[in-house]
Amino acid sequence: MKAALFCTSRYIGATPEGVWPLPAKYCEPETAARSMETTLEQFRLADQFGFDWVTVAEHHFSALSMTPNPMIFAGALSQVVKRAKIAVLGPTLPILNPVRVAEEFAMLDTMTGGRIVAGMMRGTPNEYVTYNFNPSESRARFAEALEIIRRAWTEPEPFGWQGRYYQYRSISIWPRPVQKPHPPIYMSGSSPEAGEFAARNRLGLGFAFTTIGEAAKAAAYFRAQAREAGWEPKPDDVIYRVGFHVAPSDDEAFADMSRTAPRVALTNSNAAISAAIVESSYYGRDAAQATRTATRTLQDRIEAGQILVGSPETIVRQIARIKSEIGAGILDCPLAAQLGERTLRSIELFGTEVLPRIREL
Amino acid sequence: MSTEPQMGATSTTDEAVLWLAAKDSAAALKRLVAAQYRVVECEAHETASLVRAMEEASARFGATPISLVAEGADAVPALLLALDEPQRVASIILLAPQIFDADGKALSAASETVAARLSAIETPVLALFGTKARAAPPEAARYYRARNPRCHLIFVYDAGEKMAEERPEAVAELVADFVQRRDRFLVRQHEDRLYR
């Protein structure tokens, strides 16, 4: 198995929990800068200790994630992370200009000598408020935007686009991506629609904010759909996102985690938005998605496979379960806590004690 | 061949568009374009009869030169006319043209002839390719532009060769804009302001 370190560049100062959008008045610029420097250091350590990928993602209006444009952060990472692949998982495609996304990915691929992994996301539902898009149109926008990006990466001549949601009269991006025909593409989603789309379009598929049981079902469905489409996904075509905190002992790891606040999903942090999203067709045939993001106790999250907590031995056992039930080849591991030196130690322990033992899983 | 003007009655300009296609094709698209231009249907499949059709259309409407819309393999006579009698042709719009395959090989002897001379065309050309088309695959588009950098390529999303029937409004907007503005169609003129 491979592992990615995912840091959201969380604000390390005090802010109210469970509020979205979080009022900007709580943001102290010096603390924000320090938070970003801390994240860069965490990624540098991950590169040093053998993580295969480092991951950034797009979220808006929140102290949980200060990378509203993850491409900018990935640009900074290209100068810090020298070995690991840089996974942008990813831009929230339906609310962005797809030509711009294609250009930025191509820039990053050039700056990293072809180490970019291109996640194409629909994003968390609250993101649709950010730039004022209709979440009901998200799947159709996503499909069209992705096709534009693939064309932009591969067409050798200028071309225009007459779409349903996008219109361009001339596209010819510079630079072109280093990887041929283009960087590997992943999307995310546990819904049947996501599995079908990824299979049809030969994309990797990632699972986040779900449980091992649900992800196992969704991964099996994705593989079945892919076989129907004439291809067989490899383990690396499946990503499972799971938080982690490693300490020398289980007790120490749990004690560390008891000092952290429960994580509240961004959409669930605003009742009106949450209700409006349910009314829209955003969740498609996966209506249970709305409830899977409900706040759970730490123990519940461990049992559900949403977080890895414990000693290296315990963590390896938890990962083995993920591998055997889901078949994922890549673990995308968000830091479960921002605990200063203990978080840095967790990264080191994962890299030195866990990673070597999950390679052969 | 038919040069009977079926759709000129509601047009808003005197500019004529000669449409190379079977009479029963692209009805919805033709109606939309006819709201702005005099559309003349023409089933000519070779240059000589196409010239006659243009002369008839010019005599009837006093419009010359005339823009051509050509579907599929009718791209061949349309482009040959632009090569041999460029003064007659204001612009050419190709819907799912069938000159090259996905590997850039000419599809017929006639296509080969056009392909060899494509770089000499100075008439503005817009070539539309459906992203789902098979007979005129989007992968072929690049070869038109590679041979003639003045040729504009547009992919019509979620459409096949029958883009005129599948997405008539989307195609009509392009046809109308290109007939009116030629190469300048590259620059958007639609107003995006929400409120005054």
Element (H, E) at A207: strand A204-207
Q: What is the rounded CA–CA span in Å between residue A67 and residue A121? A: 15
Report the residue of chain B nearest A163, measured CA to CA. B157
Q: What is the rounded CA–CA span in Å between residue A85 and residue A119? A: 12
- Is A277 a residue whose pLDDT tops 70? yes
Q: Tens digit of pLDDT for each residue in A207-254?
A: 998 999 999 999 999 999 999 999 999 999 999 999 999 999 999 999
HSE-up of residue B103 (Cα within 13 Å, Cβ side): 2
CA distance B150 to chain A (A): 11
Contact between chains at A147 and B157 (C-beta distance less than 8 A)? yes
- Is B1 a residue whose pLDDT tops 50? no
- Is B100 a residue whose pLDDT tops 60? yes
% pLDDT > 70, chain B: 93
Q: Tens digit of pLDDT for each residue in A49-66?
A: 999 999 999 999 999 999
Q: Tens digit of pLDDT for each residue in A146-177?
A: 999 999 999 999 999 999 999 999 999 999 99
- Is A46 a residue whose pLDDT tops 60? yes
Contact between chains at A160 and B152 (C-beta distance less than 8 A)? yes
Contact between chains at B155 and A159 (C-beta distance less than 8 A)? yes
* Per-residue exposure over A196-214, b if at least 16 CB sit within 10 Å of its own CB, e if not: bbbbeeebbbbbbbbbbeb
Q: Which CATH class is domain B16-185?
A: alpha beta
Contact between chains at A161 and B187 (C-beta distance less than 8 A)? no
Find out whether A1 and A322 touch, Cβ atoms under 8 Å.
Answer: no
Find out whether A284 and A322 touch, Cβ atoms under 8 Å.
Answer: no
pLDDT band for position B61 (50/70/90)? confident
Find which of B153, B174, B192 to mutate to test the A interface (most A CBs within 10 Å of its CB).
Answer: B153
Q: What is the rounded CA–CA span in Å between residue B121 and residue A263? A: 63
- Is B7 a residue whose pLDDT tops 90? no
Ranking A27-31, A196-200, B189-193 by mean pLDDT, the lowest is B189-193
Residue in A156, A160, A164 nearest the CB of B154: A160
Q: What is the rounded CA–CA span in Å between residue A59 and residue A69? A: 8
What pLDDT score was predicted for residue A259? 82
Q: Tell me which residue has tokens 């361009």.
A: A168
pLDDT band for position B12 (50/70/90)? low
Find which of A141, A159, A171 to mutate to test the B interface (most B CBs within 10 Å of its CB).
Answer: A159
Sequence spans of domains, chain A: 2-358
Report the residue of chain B nearest A172, measured CA to CA. B153
Fold of A2-358: TIM Barrel (3.20.20)
The letter for the amino acid at A102 is: A
What pLDDT score was predicted for residue A266? 79
Contact between chains at B131 and A158 (C-beta distance less than 8 A)? no
Residue in B153, B170, B171 nearest the CB of A159: B153
CA distance A231 to chain B (A): 20
Q: Which residue has the higher pLDDT, B7 or A20?
A: A20
The overall average pLDDT reported for chain A is 94
The overall average pLDDT reported for chain B is 91
In degrees, to the nearest 5, what angle opens at C-alpha A106 toward C-alphas A195 and A229? 25
Contact between chains at A162 and B157 (C-beta distance less than 8 A)? yes
